[in-house]
């Protein structure tokens, strides 16, 4: 009898055991709630980021298209006589007649190219002025062939051409600032860059060989600021707001689209 009483006493559940399992179950429930909350925040962040990127890309494409239309409309009748071309994907206006641009191995602008620049630059900036809020940089690029003197090693020729291309773009920029309509465009001075690229981007013929004459060129390119917008952090508190994403100059994507549409084709 005594043994049975001892066994019965040993098998009886203790109150502290029940409270232990209640604490564990409550803790698991709290952790599950935290996990679900973090999951919802993450999903909202992903959705918001995707929406912002989509809107920025759409606005960027519309802006670049509008810039291209403006430049193409302004210069379509001039490109052939300048031996120039307008490259749509990069918004680059390329002057590709080396005999007109500079003397061989010289940074002195030829009179023929001065006449072209005097006609081109004020009109170019006038067309871009309406887009200045979305333009990050106007880049003047100087390109050369890989040629130098026969006895010059290739690497030395590269650096000599680098120096030459930099001097040429600086000469173009200096000439630009002497023109009416350019020196007054303060936004141009904040965004222009003169870059000499030597022979790093040669032009090749159909057989894959360098075309030395075509490689000697001057280019004006427009870079927009939408790439930087894509890199901006998205705040989590914005995911709860029902409003369109802002574009690079503070306008909504819809507002930017309306402004570009008002410019016309």
How confident is the model at residue 42, as a pLDDT? 79
Domain 53-229 CATH superfamily = OmpA-like domain (3.30.1330.60)
Q: What is the number of helices (H) and of strands (E) in the chain?
A: 10, 5
* Maximum mean pLDDT: which of 25-34, 156-165, 182-191: 156-165
For residue 209, which phi and psi values (nearest 5 degrees)? -90, 150
Alpha-carbon span 54 to 222, nearest angstrom:
22
- Among 16-25, 49-58, 254-263, name the one with the lowest average pLDDT: 254-263
pLDDT of amino acid 40: 79
Q: What is the pLDDT of residue 14?
A: 58
Q: Report how far residue 102's alpha carbon sits from residue 114's, in angstroms, rounded to the nearest whole number.
A: 10
Task: Choose the weakest-confidence range: 62-66, 173-177, 196-200.
Answer: 62-66
Three-class SS of residue 65?
A: helix
Provide the pLDDT confidence category of residue 30 given band limits of 50, 70 and 90: confident
**92 band by pLDDT with thresholds 50, 70 and 90:** very high
Averaged over 155-173, what is the pLDDT?
A: 96
Question: What pLDDT does 240 receive?
Answer: 41
More confident residue, 181 or 153: 153
pLDDT at 39: 80
Mean pLDDT (the chain, rounded): 80
Please tell me whether the overall predicted TM-score, pTM, comes out greater than 0.95 for this model. Answer: no
Token pair of 59, please?
């606005």
What pLDDT score does 238 carry? 44
Among 41-50, 78-87, 177-186, the minimum mean pLDDT is found in 41-50
Q: Is residue 77 predicted with pLDDT exceeding 50? A: yes
| Residues 194/169, Cβ–Cβ less than 8 Å | yes
Q: What is the mean pLDDT of residues 16-45?
A: 74
Closest C-alpha among 89, 116, 88, 90 to residue 102? 116
pLDDT value at position 108?
A: 95
pLDDT score of 243 more than 50: no
Instruction: Give the pLDDT of residue 21.
Output: 61
pLDDT at 74: 97
pLDDT at 236 over 90: no
Say what the pLDDT of residue 34 is.
84
- pLDDT on residue 244: 43
């Amino acid at each position: 009898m005594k043994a049975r009483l001892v066994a019965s006493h040993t098998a009886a559940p203790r109150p502290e055991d029940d409270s232990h399992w209640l604490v564990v179950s409550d803790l698991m429930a709290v952790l599950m709630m935290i996990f679900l909350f973090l999951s919802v925040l993450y999903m909202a962040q992903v959705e918001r980021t995707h929406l912002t990127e989509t809107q920025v890309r759409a606005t960027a494409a519309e802006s670049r298209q509008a810039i291209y239309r403006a430049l193409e409309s302004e210069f379509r009748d001039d490109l052939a006589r300048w031996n120039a071309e307008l490259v749509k994907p990069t918004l680059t206006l390329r002057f590709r007649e080396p005999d007109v641009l500079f003397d061989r191995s010289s940074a002195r602008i030829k009179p023929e190219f001065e006449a072209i620049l005097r006609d081109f630059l004020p009109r170019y900036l006038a067309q871009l002025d309406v887009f200045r809020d979305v333009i990050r940089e106007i880049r003047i690029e100087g390109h050369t062939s890989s040629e130098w003197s026969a006895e010059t090693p290739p690497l030395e020729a590269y650096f000599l051409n680098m120096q030459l291309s930099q001097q040429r773009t600086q000469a173009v920029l200096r000439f630009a600032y002497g023109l009416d309509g350019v020196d007054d465009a303060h936004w141009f001075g904040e965004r222009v860059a003169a870059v000499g690229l030597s022979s790093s981007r040669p032009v090749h013929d159909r057989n894959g060989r360098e075309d030395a004459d075509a490689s000697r060129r001057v280019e004006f390119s427009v870079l927009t600021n939408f790439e930087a917008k894509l890199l901006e952090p998205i705040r989590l508190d914005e995911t709860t707001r029902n409003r369109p994403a802002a574009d690079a100059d503070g306008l909504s994507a819809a507002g930017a689209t309306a402004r570009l549409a008002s410019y016309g084709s």
